[in-house]
Amino acid sequence: MHGPVDFLASSAAVCDAVLRMRGPALVEELGRIAREVTGSPHGRYVPRDMTPATGLPGWETGLSQLIQFDSQYFGRFEVSGRDAYSDASRQHLASLASLAASVLQVHSVAQRTTHAYVQVEARLQHQSQILDQIHESVLTMDLNGFITSWNKGAERLFGYSAVEAIGRNIIFLYDDEDETFDDAFLEQGGRLMEVRRKKKNGEVFWASLSLSPLCDMEDRSIGLIAYLTDITERKQAEERIHHLAYYDALTGMPNRSLLTKLVDQALTVALRSHGHGCVMFIDLNRFKLINDTLGRTVGDALLREVSQRFRLALRDQDVVARLSGDEFAVGLFDIHQHYEASMVANKLLDALNEPFLIDGHDLRVSASIGISVYPQDGNDAETLLRLADIAMYRAKQNASTDGEHIAFYSQDMNKGMQERMRIESGLRQALGNGQLLLHYQPKYEISSGKIIGAEALVRWKHPERGLVPPAEFIPLAEATGLVVQVGEWVLEAACAQAQAWKEKGLPPIRLAVNVSAREFTSALPGRVMETLQRYGLEPSWLELEITESTLMHNIERVIGIMDRLTAEGIALSLDDFGTGYSSLSYLKRFPIDTLKIDRSFTTGIPVDTNDCAIASTIISIAQQLKHKVIAEGVETAEQLAFLKDSGCDEVQGYLFSRPLPSLEFERALLQNWAPPEPIAASA
C-alpha cells in the first residue's frame, strides 16, 4: 500500500519542510513524514542535540534511522507501532533519512553563507560610512590607475561625485600632463608626497598624498589606496615664508641668502665643468646724500628703479640681488674671459646714466663695482662676496682719482683691507683706552705777532707704533663712521684743556677743533653748547674748522646748522679752502668768520705763480666778503712776506711752531704774551 508515488510525495514534503520550516514545526513535520512513509502509528524526528524523555510505544519492534551526510549528523528518525517492518519500509526510511540529511546539509551551508554575507555587508556599510565621515579624501584604484572607490571627502575635494569618478583613470586629476601614473604612484607607493592636482572646476591645488598598497586575501597587490589632503594654504604660507627669507621686501629682488645659495650651486657646477663665473659687488655713490636730503620715500623709490634697471641690463640667467641699503650684488654664472665681466659691469654702470625722475626730482646716481672671479679668487659665495666688496672699496677710491668705477679683486687689495680692518678695530680700542691725545698748533696774528689761537690736532698714541698722525686714521674713521666718536672725544678734550688754561689765568685764546662732515648734523650745535657750559667756557673760546666738502652736502641744512652755531657766538672757519669746489654764490651765504688757505697753495709761494695768484685771490674774496683769512702750512719767511703783503690776517705753520703737546703750547703762549724784555723796551 505504500507505493513509490507516496515516497516521492514524502520526499518533496521533506524538501519543502526543511526549506520553509524551523524549530518545533520542522521537527513535527519530519516526524509526520516518517510515520507516513513507514505507515507507523508512532514516529518522530529527534534532532541532533535532543534526547527524548520517553521511548515510543511498541518500541521493541520499532525502527531507528540516523540522518547523516558525510560525517555530519542531523539526528534520527524513530518509528514504531507496527508488529513488524518490512525491508521495503526500512529501505524507505533509510532513503528518506538520506534525503533529509542532504537537504539539511545544503540548507545549513546556505544559511551559514547567508549569515556571513549579511555580516560582510554590514561591515562594508560600516566602513564606507567611516570613510565618508572622515574629512580626508580617500580613494582606491587598481594597478592601472583606474579608480575603484571614491569617498565623500574625495567628492568634496575634487568636486567630482563617486559616479563621475569611479572607473576613470586617476590621471584625469593631474595638473601636470607629463606626470605619468607609473612614476608617481607605483614606484612611490607607500610614500608621502606633495603633488599638484586639479579640481572639477579647473582649480589647481597642492595636496599631500599618501599611498598604501591595496591587497587581496592572499596578500597580492591589487591596487593602491590614496589619501589626499588639501595643503594649499600651508604651501602658500611656506611660499610666503620662503619669499620673505629669500627676497628683499623693498625691491622684490633676491636677497643675500638667495644669492649665496645660487652662487654656491653655480660653483659646484663650475668645479665639475671647469667653468668660470664672477660675483660683483655694487655700491651706489652718493646714495646716502639723496636719502638724507630728499627723504626715505624718494630713496626707496630710487632703489627700486635702480634694481629694475640692473635687472633689465642683465640676461635672465644672471642673478641680481640687493644686499642692504644701497648695496647690490650680481652673480654671472658662465663667463669665459675677464672682459666679459667688465663688459657686464659697464652695462650696469651705463644703465644708471639716464637720470631718475622721482617725485619731481631729477636724480643722478653712479655706482662703484668690485668683481671677484671664481674659481681662482675663492670657492664659496661668502668669500667671493667679501673679496668683491674689497675690490668695490678700491673702485670707490680709484673713482676719485682716475674715474674708473670698476675694479677686479687682487691679492694686494686684501692686504690693504686687512690693514684697514686692523686700524679700525685698533682705533675703537684707542677711544676706550685713552690712547688719543691732542696737540696744539698756535695761530698767529701777522700784524701783532701774537698767538691768538690754536688748532687742536688729534694724535693716536699707539702702544707699538708710537704717535700715529691723523692722516693715517682719520680718513678711515670717516669711511666707517667712527669719526663721530673721535670728534666727540676731541671736543671734550679740547674744552677740558681750555678750562684748565682759563683757570690758570692764561690769556684767552680761540681753540679750533676740526669737525668732519659726518659730525655736521643738527645735533652738533646742542652738543657743542652743552659741552661749553659743562666746562664753564664762553663760546668765544671755541672755533670749528669745517672742510669745504662738508658744505656741499645739502646746503640749506648745513647753513641752518651753521646759523645756529654762530648765533651762539661760536666762530666757524672754512678749512682747506680752494681745494673743493664751493661756488662763490654759495660762499656768500655761509656765516663764516675765517677762510683758511690750504697748505697746498702756501707751499708754492712765492715760486709758483699759480699758487700765488690763488692765494691772493682767496685773500681778496675774503676781504670782499668781510671774512678773516688765515694761511696754513707757512714754513718760510718768503711765504710770510708774500702773505703779509697780500693782506692775509693770520698764519699757522712750522715757521712759527709745529703742533705742540699741551704743556709746551702753554709755555709758548706765556712767552709770546710776556711783556717785551726791558732792554728791547728801552732800545
What is the contact surface with ligand C2E in residues (CB under 6 A)?
441, 457-458, 469-471, 474, 483, 487, 490, 514, 516, 545, 575-576, 599, 632-635, 652-654, 659
Does position 650 interact with Mg ion (CB under 5 A)? The reply is: no
Q: At closest approach, how far in Å is the CB of 406 from ligand C2E? A: 30
**Distance between CA atoms of residues 165 and 150, nearest Å:** 7
Q: Which single residue is written with the C-alpha cell 663665473?
A: 277
C-beta of 458 vs 643, nearer to ligand C2E? 458
- Among the residue ranges 75-83, 240-248, 293-301, 510-518, the one whose residues contact Mg ion (CB under 5 A): 510-518
- Other Cβ atoms less than 10 A from the Cβ of 150: the count is 24
Q: Round to the nearest angstrom and report the end-to-end CA distance of the chain.
A: 191
**Residue 151 contact partner, candidates ligand C2E, Mg ion, none, CB within 5 to 8 A by sort of partner:** none
With vertex at residue 441, the alpha carbon angle to CA 437 and CA 442, rounded to the nearest 5 degrees, is 140
Bond before 355 cis per omega within 30 degrees: no
Contacted by 453, from ligand C2E, Mg ion, none: CB < 5 to 8 Å by type? none
- State the nearest-atom distance from the C-beta of 474 to ligand C2E, in Å: 5
| Closest separation in Å from C-beta 470 to ligand C2E | 4
Please identify, using beta-carbon distances, which residue of 43 and 442 lies nearer to ligand C2E: 442
Rounded to whole angstroms, what are the CA distances from 454 to 333, 536, 542, 593, 659? 58, 19, 10, 15, 9
Minimal distance in Å, beta carbon 660 to ligand C2E?
A: 10
The size of the interface with Mg ion (CB under 5 A), counted in residues, is 4
Residue 471 contact among Mg ion, ligand C2E, none, beta carbon within 5 to 8 Å by kind: ligand C2E
Which C-beta is closer to ligand C2E: that of 349 or that of 655? 655
Residue whose CB is less far from Mg ion, 137 or 550: 550
d(CA 231, CA 458): 65
Query: CA-based angle 312:315:316, to the nearest 5?
Result: 95
What whole-number distance in Å separates Cα of residue 126 and Cα of residue 116? Answer: 15
| DSSP code of residue 247 | B
413 or 629, CB closer to Mg ion? Answer: 629
Binding site partner of 469, from ligand C2E, Mg ion, none, Cβ cut-off 5-8 A by kind: ligand C2E
Q: Which amino acid is at 199?
A: K
**Cβ at position 658, least distance to ligand C2E in Å:** 7
Residue pair 226/138 in contact by the 8 Å Cβ criterion = yes
Nearest distance from C-beta of residue 619 to ligand C2E, angstroms:
18
Q: Could you tell me the smallest distance in angstroms from the CB atom of residue 632 to Mg ion?
A: 5
Cell of residue 265, nine digits: 650651486
- Yes or no: say if 527 and 497 are a contact pair by the CB < 8 Å rule: no
Identify the residue among 283, 545, 611, 649 touching Mg ion (CB under 5 A): 545
Instruction: Tell me: does residue 576 bind Mg ion (CB under 5 A).
Output: yes
CB of 458 to ligand C2E, least distance (A): 4
Residue 411 grid cell: 691679492
Dist CA 473 CA 459 (whole Å) = 9
**Closest separation in Å from C-beta 455 to Mg ion:** 5
Separation CA 200–CA 219 (nearest Å): 34
Which option in Mg ion, ligand C2E, none does residue 442 bind, with CB closer than 5 to 8 A by kind?
A: none
Residue 73 touches which of ligand C2E, Mg ion, none (Cβ within 5-8 Å per kind): none
Q: Choose the one of Mg ion, ligand C2E, none that binds residue 470, judging by a C-beta under 5 to 8 angstroms depending on kind.
A: ligand C2E
Alpha carbon distance 223, 214 (integer Å)? 5
Residue 581 in contact with residue 552, Cβ under 8 Å? yes
Looking at the Cβ atoms of 179 and 593, the one nearer to Mg ion is: 593
Interatomic CA distance for residues 435 and 461, integer angstroms? 5
The amino acid occupying position 512 is A
Using CB under 5 A, pick the residue from 29, 318, 548, 575 that binds Mg ion: 575
Where on the chain is the footprint of Mg ion (CB under 5 A)?
Answer: 514, 545, 575-576
